[in-house]
Amino acid sequence: ETGVTQSPTHLIKTRGQQVTLRCSSQSGHNTVSWYQQALGQGPQFIFQYYREEENGRGNFPPRFSGLQFPNYSSELNVNALELDDSALYLCASSFKGQVGEQYFGPGTRLTVT
């Protein structure tokens, strides 16, 4: 059984650019949630994907978008990067239909300059 992995680990982008972050789910999990954690804050829910469809969204603008693939891996895309997008981006996988633990990846630290 493999854990949740994320890539890349660190990333530096300039304002206005676009970025894609990737997440591979825990084996057997069909749901992926993405969170943004600004420095010194708790994570904030961005959105969740289940069976390749968005299944709930937090208070984030449309330039934050995502995909889930048939193997349940997922991408987070952010367009027109702003300085405030600098944060740790976490994905967590779980199995929908069960109130179970969410397994977190190690995160991708994005710095926008």
Partner 1 sequence: KNEVEQSPQNLTAQEGEFITINCSYSVGISALHWLQQHPGGGIVSLFMLSSGKKKHGRLIATINIQEKHSSLHITASHPRDSAVYICAAQGAQKLVFGQGTRLTINP
Cα separation, 58 vs 8, whole angstroms: 23
Q: Do 84 and 10 meet the contact criterion of CB atoms below 8 Å apart?
A: no
Residue number, 45 or 69, with CB nearest to partner 1:
45
CB of 58 or CB of 69, closer to partner 1 = 58
Q: For the sheet containing 5-7, what is the strand order? A: 5-7, 19-24, 74-78, 64-68
Positions touching partner 1 (CB under 8 A) are 33, 35, 37, 41-45, 48, 55-56, 58, 88, 90, 92, 99-107, 109
In whole angstroms, the minimum distance from the beta carbon of 5 to partner 1 comes to 11
Task: For the CB of residue 38, give the shortest distance to partner 1 in the complex, in Å.
Answer: 11
Q: Specify the 3-state DSSP secondary structure of 66.
A: strand
Instruction: Answer yes or no: are the C-beta atoms of 36 and 47 closer than 8 Å.
Output: no
> 16 or 61, CB closer to partner 1?
61
C-alpha count within 13 angstroms, C-beta hemisphere, residue 48: 15
Closest distance of CB 16 from partner 1, Å: 25
The nearer residue to partner 1, 24 or 33, going by C-beta atoms, is: 33
CB of 106 to partner 1, least distance (A): 4
